[in-house]
Amino acid sequence: MKFMRPADYVIHAFKGVRATARAIGRHPSSVSRWQVPKNRKGTDGMIPHRAQHLVLEAAQNLELDITPTDLIIGRHL
């Protein structure tokens, strides 16, 4: 079983950085920064709280399996 950080799982579920960005109305560089370490000005695998509701809304509209827990803890696949 592989553990995925919140950002990795969300990007995986949406099928890529560009698709995630398009679905939530953000620039792809903002979404890709979610996967970058903090020491390189990223969020280290976490979804910023300002984007969490956008992710959940888009996931619901697209019928993707993303839960609030996935946004905070991540998921095992």
Output phi, psi for 33, to 5 deg. Answer: -65, -20
| CA dihedral sign, ordered 1, 63, 73, 26 | positive
**Cβ–Cβ contacts within 10 Å for residue 34, how many?**
23
The token duo for 39 is 């020491």
Residue 11, helix vs strand vs coil: helix
Whether domain 3-76 has CATH 3.30.499.10? no
Which residues, 6+ apart, have CB-to-CB distance to 6 below 8 Å? Answer: 45, 46, 47, 70, 71, 72, 73, 74
Domain ranges of the chain: 3-76
Write out the chain's pLDDT in tens, 77 residues.
899 999 999 999 999 999 999 999 999 999 999 999 999 999 999 999 999 999 999 999 999 999 999 999 999 99
